Amino acid sequence: MVVQYKCPSCASDLAYDIEKDAMACPHCQLVVPFDQLPKVDVPEGEADDDMPDTPIDAAEVPDEADYTYQDDNTHEQQTFGTEAVEFFCQNCGAVIVSDENTAAAWCHYCDSPVVLQDRLSGQLAPTYVIPFKVTKEQAQKAFEDWSRKGLFTPKSFRDAKKLKSVQGVYVPFWLYDVSSEGTAQAHATKVRTYVRGDYIYTETRHFNIFRRAKLNYLHVPADASEKMDDNIMNLLEPYDYKELQKFQMPFLAGFSADKYSYTADQMYDRVRARVDDFVRQYIRGTVSGYSTVNYQSELVNSEQKHADYTMLPVWIFSYDYKDSEHMFAMNGQTGKIVGKLPIDKKRVFGFWSLFAGCGFTLLMLIQALSAWAEYLG
């Protein structure tokens, strides 16, 4: 089911306004709180039966056909093969093509924000969301300032207005609560050197070390989108989870969003490895004051207590430079930016040439001063 929120004053499309924390009309400037929006419900049983979001079994499709068509005014959906789904914009009637994971998008013809409710209902309904705090204008300005700070960033990259797009995306995450218990055994030494009379003594004391820790971790994140780079998503952390809010669909209006590609169970092995590493680092941090430490065993047992399906805000920047596209990301709550800026090799060479030249000059000066001192001596 396609959901588009309309202004009660002028019938234009409403979108979520970050600064007002409410739905706003870009034409008449009317602000509509969430609790004043008309309630949209999917009749019980229809979300799964009448509007399947899962790929169609090949055995169910006739040999002479390569698509199935469902003409249903309620759900307005056509499913082609197993990759693309078509919906109809309720504003202009244009076709909206999405993949099987898209949960929110825009109509490319009338630019109306669209939320696909059936992909956010039932088992696909998120529990929490952190709304965007950084506006599009703030994000673009921050990115431009950040890109100019690179010491070796090409001047043409910093000066050129080649920002192709800035897109706000709600990325699906699983937030895990994990209980862990870890133990460690190690052999350590303390070495002391002292002088007594004409002799230098070295004293080595040996210790057997044992540590046990029980730790609880809350809101350990793991992005559940196959489209997003896991390393980039990790670098965007941390989010302030004190600002988690109960999920409501209007938050997505005006932004892109995908439903999760991986379940909580599928993602847990990755989270467990991460938590186990946290526990080992914590335990090692309690062992200090020794000259050497040799760990003989480290055991960690982590158990998943709970996982919440959560939407987290990310700004995605697409930048064209020298016939290639560069992608950057910003934490939509904190404004933290990650990405790899291009490097001007000439600037790098010039910097190191200058550094080497200064070093050579300094060395020659030191040698001259030493020779002069010997002459005077």
Q: Kindly state the helix (H) or strand (E) to which residue 199 belongs, with its residue range.
A: strand 199-223
- How does DSSP assign 247-259, residue by residue? --GGGGTTSEEE-
Task: Copy the structure tokens of residue 212.
Answer: 């046990």
The mean per-residue pLDDT over the stretch 278-295 comes to 95
- Looking at per-residue pLDDT, the higher value among 246 and 76 belongs to 246
Most confident of 22-26, 79-83, 203-207: 203-207
- Looking at per-residue pLDDT, the higher value among 361 and 120 belongs to 120
Between the CA of residue 314 and those of 139, 183, 273, 323, what are the distances in Å? 10, 37, 25, 25
pLDDT greater than 60 at residue 54 = no
Burial of residue 35 (number of CB atoms within 10 Å: 0-12, 13-18, 19+): exposed
Q: Give the E-state strand segments of 247-358 in sequence order.
A: 256-258, 292-321, 324-331, 337-338
Say what the pLDDT of residue 195 is: 92
Q: Cβ distance 170 to 311 under 8 Å?
A: yes
226 SS3 class: coil
What is the pLDDT of the chain when averaged over all its residues? 79
Q: Cβ distance 96 to 84 under 8 Å?
A: no
Domain residue extents for the chain: 2-125, 136-343
375 SS3 class: helix
Task: Copy the structure tokens of residue 360.
Answer: 């050579």
The Cα–Cα gap between 9 and 36 comes to 13
Length of the chain: 377
Name which of 140-144, 267-271, 272-276, 288-292 the model is least confident about. Answer: 140-144
- Looking at per-residue pLDDT, the higher value among 369 and 42 belongs to 369
Say what the pLDDT of residue 365 is: 63
The Cα–Cα gap between 318 and 162 comes to 9
At 151, is the pLDDT very low, low, confident or very high (cuts 50, 70, 90)? Answer: low
Of 225, 251, 244, 245, which Cα lies nearest the Cα of 3? Answer: 251
At 349, is the pLDDT very low, low, confident or very high (cuts 50, 70, 90)? Answer: low
Name which of 45-54, 155-164, 229-238, 300-309 the model is least confident about. Answer: 45-54
Name which of 68-77, 196-205, 273-282, 286-295 the model is least confident about. Answer: 68-77
pLDDT digits (tens, 9 = 90+) for 5-17: 888 888 888 889 9
> Which residue has 């930048």 as its token pair?
319
The Cα–Cα gap between 292 and 100 comes to 55
Close Cβ partners of 128 (under 8 Å, ≥ 6 residues apart): 175, 244, 245, 246, 247, 308, 309, 310, 311
The Cα–Cα gap between 115 and 98 comes to 11
